Amino acid sequence: MFLVFNTMKKYIIVLVAFTIIVIACRKKVSLPSSFTPTPYELKVPKGFPTPVVPLENPLTVEGVSLGHMLYYDPILSSNGKTCNSCHFNDKSFSSPLFISKTGVKISVPPHVNLAWNPEYNWDGTAPKLDLLPLADFGPDFFNTNMPDLVQKIKNHPKYPLMFKQAFNIDDVAQLTSDELQLKIVYALSQFMRTMISSNSKFDKMIRHEANLTSEEMDGYQTFSTEVGDCFHCHGYPLFTSNTFNNNGLDSIHLGADLGLFIVTKNDFDKGKFSAPTLRNIELTAPYMHDGRFQSLEEVVDFYNAGVHWNSPNIDPLMTKAAKKYGLNLSSTQKANLVKFLKTLTDTTFIHNPAFINPL
């Protein structure tokens, strides 16, 4: 009897020890009680203005990292889509053309140097980058099922800790859907603010690291003088004035062609659209807000001879000297202008390891 008890005692001791070892070796799931994110120092290229970073969403290393991952993760959608579904790396994070469910054609703006934009979307309907991606949760894009998303994030091996580190969130399930969406777009916008392009052939020429060909220089001359008069709306270094202008695309403005008017309801804003950056313009066809031009040659042809001079609110700068509309460029000048525009292509940007898919 004593022997049996003794044997059982040994088994019990071993069992208890084993249980303790198992418990002790279990993966720790508890999150740190508090976490202070590390400020992210945005490297502003020489000559660039101070970027627009709102106080409510400062850049942090952890926030950028979370945004980078979410940018490529289909977890945000119910249809497998990601931000990258419409913003392809090799297109300077744009895509050929988006057609909404109501049939509106939109040339997808590239994600490049967004840290300097005061307003977003062609018609300025998004005043802040930090709110811009909110619309993507809707049926046109991600068609997100929020309860599902909450569970996916909660059960994800990395996201709970990443949300904690980026925003001090202990449990995403404790947030309302709106709050969670806001934190997600905050992270996305932090990542997008880091997507800076400043290493094109033209930049290298400015830094005396490369030379433009004679044809490219001729195009630069056209671009930077009254001959082509491109610089007023697309000047160095951002190659956008970040202003809204009517460049005479149409003589009548209806629907999505009303542009800035959709936001301001000011009649004088009809037909005005955001002047896009020309950085990586070679990669971001089609062109104009509705993608009506398929090539840079078509764009130059439009400015050369296709402007609708009777367009209401056409920008005064579209009237050239002696009341002319159009540039009167020769075929050589036009071709060289396109060659110059292609010197704004930054291949190191689209292949930057900091921006590629981390998943």
Partner 1 sequence: MKYPFVIAIATVLLFVSCTKDDHIVPPVVKPPQGIDLNISYHVDNAPFVTNSFIYSTQAGYSYNLTTLVYYISEVNLIKADSSNVLIKDYQYLDALSSATNQLSLKDIPVGNYIGLKFNIGLDAIHNKSFALPSTTENVNMQWPDMMGGGYHMMKLEGNYKDLSGTYGFAMHLGTDTCLVPVKLFKSISIIKDAKTAIHLKMNINEWFRNPNQFDFNIDGNYIMGNITNMMKISKNGVDVFSF
- Applying CB under 8 A, the residues found at the interface with partner 1 are 47-50, 116, 118, 220-221, 224-226, 231, 235-238, 241-243, 268, 309-310, 313-323
Smallest distance, partner 1 to C-beta of residue 232, A: 8
Nearer to partner 1, 11 or 268 (CB): 268
Smallest distance, partner 1 to C-beta of residue 202, A: 13
Nearer to partner 1, 35 or 231 (CB): 231
Rounded-to-integer distance, Cα 186 and Cα 178, Å = 12
Nearer to partner 1, 179 or 226 (CB): 226
Find, among 340, 307, 342, 341, the residue nearest to 326 by Cα.
Answer: 307
Nearer to partner 1, 88 or 231 (CB): 231
Nearer to partner 1, 98 or 231 (CB): 231
Smallest distance, partner 1 to C-beta of residue 193, A: 16
Smallest distance, partner 1 to C-beta of residue 133, A: 23
Rounded-to-integer distance, Cα 281 and Cα 91, Å = 9
Residue 315 corresponds to which tokens in the numbers above? 């920008």
Smallest distance, partner 1 to C-beta of residue 131, A: 20
Smallest distance, partner 1 to C-beta of residue 273, A: 16
Nearer to partner 1, 98 or 325 (CB): 325
